[in-house]
Structure 1
Amino acid sequence: MKVRKLFLMLFIAVPLIVMILVGLLAGIFQLKRDIAVSANTLLRFSADISAASWQVAGKAARLAESSCTDTLKELSRTRAFTPYVRDIGFLENGDITCSFVTGTERYHFSRLAGLSLPASYPERWLRSIGSMAEGPDRLVVVYVKKVAADKAAFVIVDSQYVQELMEILAAERASAFSLTFGAGEAITSAAKLRGKAFLTQRFTSTDHTIQLMVRTPFSTLSAYWLQNLFIFIPLSLCLSVGMMLFYRRWYLKRLSLAREIARGITHNEFTVHYQPVFNVKHGSCGGVEALMRWPQPDGRFITPDIFITAAENEGM
């Protein structure tokens, strides 16, 4: 009876524990998949803005030899079609010589953007920075395209559109997003994590210039886990019932066989057949082998390995 109770507890507990763990693993997989979808959406949007910004920088670079007055007219038209652009202009030895914001006034770049440029301009330079002196207190992204050894065209892009999309995705996934352009400062979502980060995932754009980090608390995973439990717990109950039915069938079959053996013994149904054992080498009979048989009314025989094993298990 104790053994049967133990089996009953195992049949309930084991499927339940297994299905709870399966629900957890499925929740982690679903959470990672959903975050990856949101991350790729944000990265594609950011990459599209970067591609458009580089095109604007390239267009400005082709105007580098024109006068600032003529260039400003063209830059104003370009900026009108790219509302996320804060400023477009030219650099020479670290100074802004002409731009939409400063006009024809020579202005050191660090006064406007709050950081110094590399001593020698690379072919392309990209960085997200804290804010711009002229404009809202919001992160901006600086794109610099080399024109000559000491000259470059630059584009400063507002992070507003990226940040708005990030806030929507972060709220949808109940996670904290952190986006970085180049090696600059991170553009982060406003929502704070509820507790410590349980899962941290990192993503990068195809050209590796934009990096995204997503941190997710356990409370977000628990929502997925709970949703899965509504599916997996009923499955565990079905599995438990199936195992108990299988065990009951096996147990009844075992009891039935034991009763049949006892009945067969009572009615002398078991027969013993003696079979001589010959020694071929010496050409003589070396003894006899006793074979027990259990014939059935329908003419079939139950093999000894079945009824002998059952009898031994029942202590008969």
Structure 2
Amino acid sequence: MKKTTAINISETAKRTLQVEAAAINGLQQFIDHDFEQAVEIIARCAGRLVVTGIGKSAIIGQKIVATLNSTGTPALFMHAADAIHGDLGMIQQDDVVMCISKSGSSPEIKVLVPLVKSFGNPLIAMVGNTSSYLAREATLVLNTTVTQEACPNNLAPTTSTTAQLAMGDALAVCLIEWHGFTAADFAKFHPGGTLGKKLYLKVGDLSRHHQAPRVHLHSPLQEVILEISSKMLGVTAVLDEQEQLSGIITDGDLRRMLEKNIATDTVTAKDIMSTHPKVIQKDELAINALEKMRQHDITQLLVLEDKRYIGIIHLHDLIREGII
């Protein structure tokens, strides 16, 4: 399609965002008794929330279903057009149905609503016209009325679908709090990808892939160098006679010691180690190790099991796993 008029792209984009932001802010006035009842009905139902719609509202419905499923509320999507050709069988006795529509009067919606009601399931309408057929027939109404679309012709679903999406998020967040859904619960449903790893991957899962470099307080310099070099982590722990952690030596400590031009034949680990090394427990989340490294501007932490030294977690481990 050929461009026919000059536009100010930045101004158009900003105006679009302003219109949609105002619409979302305006939804606050529609958080009423019906909304509260909808949250309670969904939270208490023994089945699932079946979300349906047509056109752009159907796409929004699929996103809402995805959000609900990932946050502990069982949900499924049923396309309104397919429903009347067999997919109505998706609705079970204990389910709640939510129909999303801007107009509330689409032909498919008018056919679908009586069929859903004949099953006896509660019907929630997320609708942009509270005088519509869908709103009149529904058990509860979630009002997503907007004054205008961001589209310059006031036709393409833009502001209206944004409002539906935001109302769906409000519903989902209320259900998260209702069920006391935690980050640990979230991790169970998101085991893949970077997000999942941040929620479940632990320090011990990474440190076990390394050898645990160690020397003792009176280990000579040559032994310290060989241990750091052979384990290829740029660091070694220093243990006392009872195998308790006393300190840490990094390759940086070795360089600084050599710069002093001191006699190296009598140097032991105790002479060059840093006391009070930064440590982390093996059962802590790997993302916590990253935060600790950033806080102290270091690239590795000594890993403990209670008070016992068991290994190293390095910044490269976190990079490799996509935590960073």
Say which one has the larger Rg.
1
Q: Which has the higher strand share?
A: 1
Give the structure, 1 or 2, with the largest relative contact order (CA under 8 Å, sep 6 or more): 1
TM over 0.5: no
